[in-house]
């Protein structure tokens, strides 16, 4: 394991790119030993301007509107090195190397095709960033474990809501990692994705009616463990996303609450992150207990916004016994359906809300 890591560090040349949908676009992966980063690049990409009818509809609405983006093909690659992921930075540059707005990306995911999610029998989203997501930096004391040679895939959806076209764009994810010889060793955490909509084989965004709304789903924990960190995702008009324990007597106990950051027009700017396990023990979740995820919205537009809502929370979770984590089963129905959805994004003109953030 360490020998392979040293070999990769000694040669920063890109690893063999995946087969792109078109003759130009490639995904490359290289290890930067000096900065302890893995650099994933995708490009060059060409992005058309928004349809004039869409721009007119936005102007007529006079407030936030939600639109799906343009999906890129699902592009596979191999993770190059053993260690722990502990941060990621996103950058988009044009053909001249100039930074362009990261809000051109609706969402970008790195999918781990060799480990499943806790609540869904589908591949883990080891990195997930929406257009409002800030760069992620975890303390060196924690990290997401990953092995060299792990098969992964890149999910990329564009969201250009301007009258400008972009050409020769490069998307760069700079992933910080901790090596296996680090002492003390980081605490291994795994992402736990929770959505108010079952994400397997269907969109996870849904219509947002006018007024105050709350959308909920309940989950039964299959294992014991602790919440080390938490983040969430909402769309415009979103207020907060919360997790509560549902007690046997019908009462509830608040576990964690994440507030949205909104501008004056109620457009989403971000969702709060919390790290209760960085300076403390974290928040214990118990095997067999029921937890309720809730996302609140206040749609002040006076109209239904088609596909205008999404609610999910992602936990950084430290299992009490990692051996109890459910095993990946690529032959399972839900796994096959989810991977097929990822592969079906290969039509760049297709609009899809299936790929969860």
pLDDT tens for 177-186 read 999 998 899 9
- Residues 313 and 333: their CA atoms lie apart, in Å, by 24
Q: What is the pLDDT of residues 274-284, one digit of tens each?
A: 999 988 889 99
Q: What is the pLDDT of residues 287-309, one digit of tens each?
A: 999 999 999 999 999 999 999 99
What pLDDT score does 51 carry?
74
Are the C-beta atoms of residues 357 and 109 closer than 8 Å to each other? yes
What pLDDT score does 309 carry?
96
> What's the predicted TM-score (pTM) here?
0.84
- Residues 219 and 301: their CA atoms lie apart, in Å, by 32
What pLDDT score does 251 carry?
93
Which residues are bridge partners to 92 per DSSP? Answer: 171
Are the C-beta atoms of residues 171 and 75 closer than 8 Å to each other? no
Q: Which of 13-17, 20-24, 243-247 has the lowest mean pLDDT?
A: 13-17
What pLDDT score does 62 carry?
54
- Residues 196 and 120: their CA atoms lie apart, in Å, by 12
Over 80: is that where the pLDDT of 104 sits? yes
- Residues 357 and 354: their CA atoms lie apart, in Å, by 9
Mean pLDDT for the chain overall: 86
Compute φ and ψ for 68, nearest 5 degrees. Answer: -65, 160
Task: Copy the structure tokens of residue 56.
Answer: 């007119």
Residue 201 neighbours by CB distance under 10 Å:
14
107 vs 263, more confident? 263
């Amino acid at each position: 394991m360490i020998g392979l890591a040293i070999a990769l560090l000694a040669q920063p040349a890109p690893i063999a790119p995946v087969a792109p949908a078109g003759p130009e676009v490639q995904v490359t992966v290289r290890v930067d030993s000096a900065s302890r980063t893995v650099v994933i690049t995708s490009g060059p990409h060409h992005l058309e301007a928004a349809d004039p009818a869409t721009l007119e509809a936005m102007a007529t609405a006079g407030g936030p509107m939600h639109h799906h983006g343009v999906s890129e093909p699902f592009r596979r690659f191999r993770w190059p090195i053993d260690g722990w992921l502990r941060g990621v930075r996103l950058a988009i540059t044009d053909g001249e190397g100039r930074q362009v707005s990261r809000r051109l990306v609706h969402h970008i995911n790195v999918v781990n095709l060799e480990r499943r999610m806790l609540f869904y029998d589908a591949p883990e989203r080891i990195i997930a960033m929406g257009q409002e997501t800030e760069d992620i930096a975890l303390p060196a004391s924690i990290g997401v474990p990953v092995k060299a040679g792990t098969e992964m895939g890149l999910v990329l959806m564009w969201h250009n809501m301007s009258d400008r076209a972009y050409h020769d764009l490069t998307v760069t994810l700079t992933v910080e990692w901790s090596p296996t010889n680090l002492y003390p060793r980081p605490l291994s955490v795994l992402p736990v994705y929770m959505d108010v909509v079952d994400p397997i084989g269907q969109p996870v965004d849904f219509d947002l009616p006018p007024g105050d709304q709350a959308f909920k789903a309940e989950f039964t924990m299959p294992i014991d463990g602790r919440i080390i960190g938490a983040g969430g995702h909402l769309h415009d008009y979103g207020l907060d996303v919360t997790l509560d324990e549902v007690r046997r007597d019908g009462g509830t106990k608040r576990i964690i609450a994440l507030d949205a950051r909104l501008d004056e027009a109620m457009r989403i700017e971000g969702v709060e992150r919390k790290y209760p396990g960085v300076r403390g023990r974290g928040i214990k979740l118990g095997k067999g207990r029921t937890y309720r995820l809730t996302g609140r919205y206040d749609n002040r537009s006076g109209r239904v916004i088609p596909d205008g809502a999404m609610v999910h929370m992602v936990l950084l979770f430290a299992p009490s016994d990692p051996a109890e984590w459910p095993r990946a089963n690529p032959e399972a129905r839900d796994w096959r359906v989810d991977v097929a959805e990822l592969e079906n994004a290969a039509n760049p003109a297709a609009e899809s809300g299936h790929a969860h953030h």
